Amino acid sequence: MRSILQKNKDICYLCSVIDGDNSYKPDTEEHHIFPGNPNRKLSERYGLKVYLCIRCHRTGEEAVHNQPNRGRDLYLKMIAQKAFEKQYPLKDFKAIFGKNYL
């Protein structure tokens, strides 16, 4: 399923939202906001994924996969939960993903 959070995969979601940088980035990577099994599949099913530049995804100091800096990862989880609850009002986010991030 496509992302319910982002329409253009050639713009880094975090660069756009946090830094206001909406420039074209040819190197974006798909990021499933809820990792692991089965959460990655659930992220895919419900469109809870975004496209991130390599710096925001895995190599930068504040990258979502850089465990010491969990701020952006938790930010994405909160945004995703809000979008899920708006898109799927009859579904229970906590029952599906096992945790409330709000």
**Could you read off the pLDDT of 79-98 as tens digits, one per residue?**
999 999 999 999 999 999 99
**Both structure tokens of 77:** 């989880």
Distance between CA atoms of 55 and 61, rounded to whole angstroms?
8
pLDDT digits (tens, 9 = 90+) for 13-63: 999 999 899 999 889 999 999 988 889 999 999 999 999 999 999 998 888
Nearest to 70 by CA among 61, 59, 81: 61
Q: How many domains does the chain have?
A: 1
1 within some domain: no
- Per DSSP, what are the bridge partners of residue 25? none
Find out whether 75 and 34 touch, Cβ atoms under 8 Å.
no
Mean pLDDT value across the chain: 92
pLDDT given at position 37: 84
Q: 34: closest CA among 2, 14, 64, 7?
A: 64
Q: Is residue 99 part of a domain?
A: no
**Structural domain includes residue 98:** no
56 in a structural domain: yes
Residue with the two structure tokens 């990258």: 63
Residue 6 belongs to some domain of the structure: no
Query: Is 20 a member of any domain?
Result: yes
